[in-house]
Chain A
Amino acid sequence: MSIPRFWREIRQRYKGIGTECGVCNRVYFPPREVCPDCGRDSLGDMKEREISGKGKVLTFTEVHEPMPDFEILSPYIMAIVEMDEGVRMTGQLVGVEFDEVKNGMEVEAVLRKLGEESPSGIIYYGYKFRPCR
């Protein structure tokens, strides 16, 4: 991945910046220019909104055949998390054993290393989820 391709999403991946529709107040992550529900009424009315990072596990899976970048973590847990703002996000679930994970489990987003281009290349950071303490 080129450096700008990762760099331009840094605010979203590091800080969880999404958008909120000024018409219906629905929250989106990553940011959208148009609200899928409100269409053109929302144009110019989408406001930046930071996601709290707290949510509940909606569903999850244990990955046994990862992509090469994630080989070292195998097996690992991927989950879809429903955030307190209502928006859903996909991410790894860490700090918990697979057989301890339950639907509805309260989790929070934490900044973690996702991978690296090469030993001397750029390092990708982003969010993962862990159980709330």
Chain B
Amino acid sequence: MREVAIIGIGETKIGELWDLSLRDLGIHAGLEAIQDAGVTGDEIEKLYIGNMSAGRLINQEHIAPMIADYAGLEGTPAVRIESGGASGGMALAEGFMAVASGMNDIVVVGGAEKMTDVGDVEAKDILSSTGDREWESVFGATFDSLYALMAKHHMDVYGTTREQLAQVAVKNHYNGARNPNAQFQREIPLKMVLNSPAVSTPLGMFDCAPLSDGGAAVVLCPVEIAESYSGKPVRMMGVGMGSDHMAVHDRQSIDTMKATNLAARRALDMTGLECSNMDFAEVHDNYTISEIMAIEDIGFFNKGDGGPATQRGDTALNSKISVNPSGGLKAKGQPVGAVGINQAVEAVIQLRDKAGDRQVDDAEYGLTHNVGGTGGSAVVHIFGRWSP
């Protein structure tokens, strides 16, 4: 298996981007990544696009060749990868495998989602279809409520508090305020999170990430040829994926994401590194409880210590482990199928020392964690600073 590098990154600003279509989002991000890498269109051997639900959000399936077409890449193999909210991360895993296997040299992996061409109630309904439609949502379970059930259980079992959940949002808004591509670039006080209107108890509005438009892309190549391109390379060292029961109620434990645990273990085993080697992590904080579960299930903290660790400030920028330096889904935004690529883009920015006010000092290794649905699938990637 060959070692893989990322040599180019691109992403749109994230938010309610009324003047941009899905096509625009994919192309803007893709062209930026290609320019950053310094590759030519002729060199690109494959395009993967992570996308959750273009079919329901804009009534357009088969979007990969469409994006390839408008990026001037007609003729290039182009495939869409879907795994709910983990679509981007899973697409990146496919791109990694194409390069690592020796089948392709230059591969572009993009992610794009256009959430705001439907109303927010419909968008939430579409998102909830990444849970178990027949045995959860039919009975009235919203996507929010399934995460609320995990949150309530986590609080009952481990004593996690409402304030600890809220601190996740406060921290991620602090980081997002330092990210020019973030949807919400302002800090928020704890009280604002605690007093936000109930969505599904114990979760309030500020415990939930927004549903956003956005696109992101990266260019991959084998490590041996990485320095022959203009973009400063970053190593993609490990990839791990996992799955779990589709419905939350079927999980071995409602407060634990087994898919995350498996994906993290597999990715770490591939690199020989441990959680303690990581300087930062971009984790899937679609809800505040999700970040607390993620930092436990990946292995940064013991089960049940995710809340207290957050409250102690262990996950703040340049503390024990900088979690979601980009602002995460909570503040940077949640263009669902693009999230996994947005996370990879942040990892590259950090490992190139280009993160400005949100730079993780002396970052050597970083981890990204992307979840599909309510934990039915998860993918973890590990990145390392370039050393020739």
Task: Give bound CA distance, A58 to B247, whole Å.
Answer: 15
Q: How far is the CB of B252 from chain A (nearest CB, A)?
A: 10
Establish whether residues A66 and B140, one from each chain, have CB atoms under 8 Å apart when the complex forms.
Answer: yes
Q: What's the dominant secondary structure at chain B's contact region?
A: helix
Establish whether residues B149 and A61, one from each chain, have CB atoms under 8 Å apart when the complex forms.
Answer: yes
B19 sits at the interface (CB 8 A): no
Establish whether residues B152 and A90, one from each chain, have CB atoms under 8 Å apart when the complex forms.
Answer: no
Which B-chain residue is minimally distant from A62 (CB atoms)?
Answer: B201
Establish whether residues B249 and A64, one from each chain, have CB atoms under 8 Å apart when the complex forms.
Answer: no
Task: Give bound CA distance, A44 to B128, whole Å.
Answer: 33
- A 57-91 to B, binary, CB cutoff 8 A, 1 in contact else 0: 01111111111111001011011100000001111
Count of chain A residues with Cβ under 8 Å from any Cβ of B? 35
Among B84-92, B131-139, B210-218, B229-237, which stretch is in contact with chain A? Answer: B131-139
Establish whether residues B248 and A90, one from each chain, have CB atoms under 8 Å apart when the complex forms.
Answer: yes
- B 119-156 to A, binary, CB cutoff 8 A, 1 in contact else 0: 00100110010000011111111101110110111001
A63 and B140 in contact (CB under 8 A), knowing A80-B248, A90-B135? yes
Most buried by A among B121, B140, B200, B245: B140
Q: What's the dominant secondary structure at chain A's contact region?
A: strand
| Chain B residues closer than 8 Å to A78, beta-carbon distance | 139-141, 145, 149, 200
Task: Give bound CA distance, A128 to B140, whole Å.
Answer: 10
| Chain B residues closer than 8 Å to A124, beta-carbon distance | 138
Establish whether residues A61 and B249, one from each chain, have CB atoms under 8 Å apart when the complex forms.
Answer: no
Establish whether residues A66 and B149, one from each chain, have CB atoms under 8 Å apart when the complex forms.
Answer: no
Count of chain B residues with Cβ under 8 Å from any Cβ of A? 35
A16 sits at the interface (CB 8 A): no
Task: Give bound CA distance, A58 to B149, whole Å.
Answer: 9
B225 sits at the interface (CB 8 A): no
| Chain B residues closer than 8 Å to A19, beta-carbon distance | none
B66 sits at the interface (CB 8 A): no
B42 sits at the interface (CB 8 A): no
Task: Give bound CA distance, A64 to B140, whole Å.
Answer: 11
B199 sits at the interface (CB 8 A): yes
Which B-chain residue is minimally distant from A29 (CB atoms)?
Answer: B135
Q: How far is the CB of A125 from chain B (nearest CB, A)?
A: 11
Establish whether residues A61 and B152, one from each chain, have CB atoms under 8 Å apart when the complex forms.
Answer: yes
> Of residues 59 to 80 in B, which have CB atoms within 8 Å of A's CB atoms?
none
Establish whether residues A58 and B137, one from each chain, have CB atoms under 8 Å apart when the complex forms.
Answer: no
A9 sits at the interface (CB 8 A): yes
Task: Give bound CA distance, A63 to B200, whole Å.
Answer: 4
| Chain A residues closer than 8 Å to B199, beta-carbon distance | 64-65
Task: Give bound CA distance, A90 to B246, whole Å.
Answer: 13
Establish whether residues B134 and A9, one from each chain, have CB atoms under 8 Å apart when the complex forms.
Answer: yes
| Chain A residues closer than 8 Å to B200, beta-carbon distance | 61-65, 78
Most buried by B among A61, A67, A103: A61
A131 sits at the interface (CB 8 A): no
Establish whether residues B139 and A67, one from each chain, have CB atoms under 8 Å apart when the complex forms.
Answer: no
A59 and B156 in contact (CB under 8 A), knowing A78-B149, A80-B249, A80-B254? yes
Task: Give bound CA distance, A62 to B254, whole Å.
Answer: 17
Task: Give bound CA distance, A88 to B137, whole Å.
Answer: 15
B20 sits at the interface (CB 8 A): no
Q: Which 8 A-B pairs have the closest CB atoms?
A: A61-B148, A88-B249, A59-B153, A64-B198, A62-B201, A80-B249, A70-B140, A59-B152
Interface positions of B (Cβ within 8 A of A): 121, 124-125, 128, 134-142, 144-146, 148-149, 151-153, 156, 197-203, 245, 247-250, 254
Beyond A62-B200, A63-B144, A89-B135, list 11 extra A-B contacts (CB 8 Å).
Answer: A58-B254, A59-B156, A61-B203, A63-B140, A63-B200, A66-B142, A67-B128, A73-B140, A78-B141, A90-B139, A90-B141
Q: Would you give 30 A-B contacts (Cβ < 8 Å), ordered by A?
A: A30-B135, A58-B249, A58-B254, A61-B145, A61-B149, A61-B151, A61-B201, A62-B201, A63-B140, A63-B144, A63-B148, A64-B200, A65-B124, A65-B200, A67-B121, A67-B128, A68-B125, A78-B140, A78-B141, A78-B145, A79-B149, A90-B141, A90-B146, A90-B247, A90-B249, A92-B140, A98-B201, A103-B156, A114-B138, A124-B138
